A and B are shown apart, each in its own frame.
Chain A
Amino acid sequence: AQSVTQLDSQVPVFEEAPVELRCNYSSSVSVYLFWYVQYPNQGLQLLLKYLSGSTLVKGINGFEAEFNKSQTSFHLRKPSVHISDTAEYFCAAGGTSYGKLTFGQGTILTVHP
């Protein structure tokens, strides 16, 4: 069985500061890893995904994540955040056979001016 843990429920940060949202997963089999963002009153939108290969994955809006197999982590980073990045972010793990996703609890990122 898979499980995903997001270590911070809320992350406040000032505009133009760097941010890291932490995610750990556990699985007995190979998984694919995803980060989704949910803006207020909108559906979940894919930021990036790790399937295989390079452990550093770049996504939309300047976000990137690093897959670390030994630490079973997939932390999301952005070097300089904007007010518009305020949203809830979800880390998710999926199996390789079909697309059932296991989500973390979510991290609310609030960017202050």
Chain B
Amino acid sequence: GAGVSQTPSNKVTEKGKYVELRCDPISGHTALYWYRQSLGQGPEFLIYFQGTGAADDSGLPNDRFFAVRPEGSVSTLKIQRTERGDSAVYLCASSREGVGAETQYFGPGTRLLVL
């Protein structure tokens, strides 16, 4: 079956611009996670959705970052007034129910470059 997909695969933008990154989870998965992977680092947790609600957004670095999942499937990560430090690969993952023992299935990521 289809895995987790993310669009775009690459995004180049200028400092100060607004960007949206999209994640399509595996069908039927209620849990969705966003992570950010900076160069040479492991992924860092940003936000966790259970259904339509953000159950844990403690990893969002500041109020320029926001994410939604209005119908409990597709999610959009939104970054306002982008900064060069936002350049990273943004990963999305989904799992069936969101319990800790579950395997998370990762998408290929969106590589964001802020010039």
Residues of A within 8 A of B (CB): 4, 6, 32, 36, 41-46, 49, 51, 90, 92, 94-106
Contacts and interface: CB of A to CB of B under 8 A. Distances in A.
Contacts of A92: 42
Secondary structure dominating the interface of B: loop
A103 B108 contact: no
Q: Give chain B's interface residue range (CB within 8 Å of chain A).
A: 20 to 34
Contacts, number: 71
B2 interface: no
Interface of B: 3-4, 31, 33, 35, 40-45, 48, 50, 55-56, 91, 93, 95, 98-104, 106-109
Contacts of B56: 98, 100
Contact of A99 (B3, B33, B40, B42): B33
Contacts of A43: 3-4, 91, 106-109
Contact of A98 (B41, B98, B108): B98
Contact of A42 (B42, B100, B108): B108
